[in-house]
Amino acid sequence: MHDDSFAHTQRAQEGALLDAAFDAIRRYQKQLPERRAVPSPDDLKALDALDEPLAETGTDPVAVFEQLATLGETTTVPSTGGRLGCSKPR
């Protein structure tokens, strides 16, 4: 019984994480036309929020993803393609 409960909880967490990822993708794509080509100094400074000790116990994966997605949305070069348009060194 315990194994079934654990598996159910794990599937629920995985589903919530996938939902959060799909929401972030849709949000990212919707914001692309208004995005800056490069991050602003304030956006880069916001990355300091990641400079914290690691949790000693488990952390909600959705909360971790949301923090990374929120900070990453404004601190990455906007692109939906597989390449950034850089020429490959020869």
How confident is the prediction along the chain (90 residues), in pLDDT tens digits per residue? 557 888 878 888 899 999 999 999 999 899 888 988 889 999 999 999 999 998 899 889 999 999 999 988 888 888 877 665 554 454
Q: What is the pLDDT of residue 42?
A: 94
| 41, two tokens | 């100094």
| 19, two tokens | 């939902």
Residues 6+ apart with CB under 8 A from 47: 71, 75
Cα dihedral: 42, 17, 60, 13 (round 10): 170
